[in-house]
Structure 1
Amino acid sequence: MVALGADYFRALETPRMARLAPNVFAAAFPLMKLMPARYILDRACADGVLTAGTRIVETTSGTFGMALALLAAARGYPLTLVTAASLIDATYARRLQMLGVSLVVSPDEQGNGDQRARLDEVNRIRRYEPGSFWPRQYDNPENAIAYARLAELLVRTVSKIDYLVGCVGSGGSLCGTGTFLRAMFPDLAIIAVDTHRSVLFGQPAGKRLLRGLGNSVLPANLQHDLVDEVHWIGAYPAFREASRLLRQHGIFQGPTSAAAALAARWVARSHPDARVALIMADEGYRYVDTVFNDAWLAKLPGWSSPTLPEPILLSAIEPASEAEWTRFAWERRSLAEVVGAHSDNQEPAPGRS
């Protein structure tokens, strides 16, 4: 068993600080989710909740699961990950299994990640193994607290920050980093990047082509009243931005990071005197055969249609196509204030414990 706090994989959770424009500073991570995964496991060990031989069980759409897999393998914990058929590819599954992961793949006929079914499966496994540890990435406040280190790195690199831009899935990275930064810079504007047919900011759930952000349930770690503006970015603009980042900056990040970069570049153009910090969470290796493959892209319906150079400002929340990019002034309000206290999209995930 590796000692508590062992420094394995530290380089993977340390971002490259890149300048994408005179006023855009990006924290480009090899594997950002190592930051909260390590912090959560270390705290659980220190509290005596996670002991030698304890099985870890979690639901994941990708990178948090890989972070847990690396740490569990190094520290000697058995690990079960629950994912959906639409989220896992054969190559990624093999990487997890090489690290000793027991992988449970839930059917996903709707193609939206089926988070509710995955959470049900996590609870079933925990009933079968009552001593197991559930990191609860969506609800565990330690997820957000872990990003104090990222906030410090950004301040050291950028100094004063006017805008923070990042994608939202569990809510941990954007809300955690934003909370720490706003304590230093009260006027900081926080821009949340989501994708169409994600329920996080009031859209109805549906099939999503752009993965790694968005959700089909509402995580407790998402603090809506921190957010000034929401951008919903379809898969096609994100895919194009991923290729542009590689060609023009030598930055090989996944389409989730590219979506955030697209929004950050627009913010920087709109506010040329502002200093914009950008969180880029994932590398591009999972997407070599898809997002970075011209033959695969050419088969997408409507791929040849041009991408708008800027987002469409919405007066009401509504989904759009994978080729579109929209934005909405959230103005630091709660979800209930924006979409109504009785919205069907507000139902939290079941099985919280």
Structure 2
Amino acid sequence: MDEHIADAIGRPDLIHLDEGLVCLRFESMKVVSAMAAVRHLLATGAVRPGDTLLDSSSGIYAYALALACHRYGMRCHIVGSTTVDHTLRTQLAVLGAEFEQVDPSDDLKLDQRRRVARIGEILARHPEYHWMRQYHDDIHYLGYRAIADRVHQETGTGPLSVVGGVGSGASTGSLARRLRENSPGVGLIGVQPFGSVTFGSDRVPDPDIIIAGIGSSIPFANVDHSLYDTLHWLGFGSALAGSVDLLRRYAVFAGLSTGAAYLTARWERNQDPGRTFVFIAADTGHRYTDSVFARHHTAQQADALTPRTVAALDDLAHPWSRMDWNRAPAPQPAGGPPLKTNSTERPTR
């Protein structure tokens, strides 16, 4: 029996959709990441019960950190993106989290920079707060190791690839690292929006939106680029088509990043039918009801969509591009500071 709702929310479903196609479905993916990070910080003495944990979020990490703080008796302070909706703000308030939202902006780069700047202001005033650094600290890799073990146990020993939005790198990166401890040949396919600096698509903006959570307009220091074999970049319209097709075909109601990962996994599976592709569904589709699912009648047919394979970042183009990354290092100058590989060795205070 679970001792807290966060334990149940953090446990994903593994769903066999079709031959070679498996969905790793979370209710809210970053709960498992935040819970493991907070447990580790408490165990190492980096924080104590009652301390305030601080971070920035475009949505699901805010909820995850608020749940982890509720579970372990911590205070929570969130600097939120303009994408955080009324429903989530209300939940955060009832959970006791302090939430402040940056000024509205149509520019994600400006939104992210404002949030980072605000974090700095808060820390200057409250140096006793602990900044969780979800975009910079590989402590957030810890929570996905047990999930990787479950994927390994339930998918067998055949050829396997993981497909998912890159985001901060924690979910896809951690899953691949752990799975490769048993099978070095496990593939990792990252999904990015156009306009993200992480893998160099910032030269190709998306005229609609940058899909929140899987890309970034500022460098993320805990993305290990050398883990990824293949990258796919999808625009909003392609991701919408994937989300709608996933619901229509398999009754899985999930978010926009899931639609992009599903479309990618389907295409890759069709090219390599002897391999199993596990794609990540990071959250449910509820916050996309109006922006995505209400537009289902305008969605393109998923079977009609195919990526353009490119050999260089300069060749990226809408609506969907694919590139063999071959576990290469970060593009310059998008890589940011090197990934910290020993951040779990944190000083006590």
Pair 1:330 & 2:328 matched: no
CA shift at 1:90, angstroms?
Answer: 2.4
- CA distance in 1 between counterparts of 2:305 and 2:200 reads 25
Residues 1-353 of structure 1: pairs in structure 2 closer than 5 A: 7-85=4-82, 87-107=83-103, 109-112=105-108, 114-160=111-157, 161-204=159-202, 206=205, 208-294=209-295, 308-318=304-314, 320-321=317-318, 324-336=319-331, 341=332, 343=333, 345-347=334-336
- CA distance in 2 between counterparts of 1:279 and 1:150 reads 11
- CA distance in 1 between counterparts of 2:311 and 2:214 reads 23
Q: In 2, are the aligned partners of 1:144 and 1:221 still within 8 Å (CA)?
A: no
Corresponding letter in the other structure for 1:144: Y
Q: Deviations over 1:289-316 (max 9, x none)?
A: 221113xx77xxxx67766521111222
Q: Deviations over 1:207-249 (max 9, x none)?
A: 6342221011222221111111100011111112212212221
Q: In 2, are the aligned partners of 1:217 and 1:348 still within 8 Å (CA)?
A: no
Consecutive unaligned residues of structure 1, counting only runs of 5 or more, are none
CA shift at 1:101, angstroms?
Answer: 2.1
Corresponding letter in the other structure for 2:17: L
- CA distance in 1 between counterparts of 2:167 and 2:40 reads 22
Q: In 2, are the aligned partners of 1:199 and 1:215 still within 8 Å (CA)?
A: yes
Q: Deviations over 1:88-146 (max 9, x none)?
A: 22232222222222222223535215323211211211121111111111122221122
State the superposition RMSD in angstroms.
Answer: 2.4
Corresponding letter in the other structure for 2:200: G
Q: 1:182 to 1:91 in 2, by over 3 A?
A: same
Q: Is the partner of 1:9 in helix, strand or coil?
A: helix
- CA distance in 2 between counterparts of 1:122 and 1:191 reads 32
Q: 1:105 to 1:348 in 2, by over 3 A?
A: farther
- CA distance in 2 between counterparts of 1:306 and 1:153 reads 33
Q: In 1, are the aligned partners of 2:238 and 2:300 still within 8 Å (CA)?
A: no
Q: Normalized against structure 1, the TM-score is what? A: 0.87
Consecutive unaligned residues of structure 2, counting only runs of 5 or more, are 339-345
The alignment of Structure 1 onto Structure 2 pairs a total of residues equal to: 332
Q: Is the partner of 1:273 in helix, strand or coil?
A: coil
- CA distance in 2 between counterparts of 1:7 and 1:88 reads 24
CA shift at 1:84, angstroms?
Answer: 2.3
Percent sequence identity over aligned pairs:
28
Corresponding letter in the other structure for 1:162: L
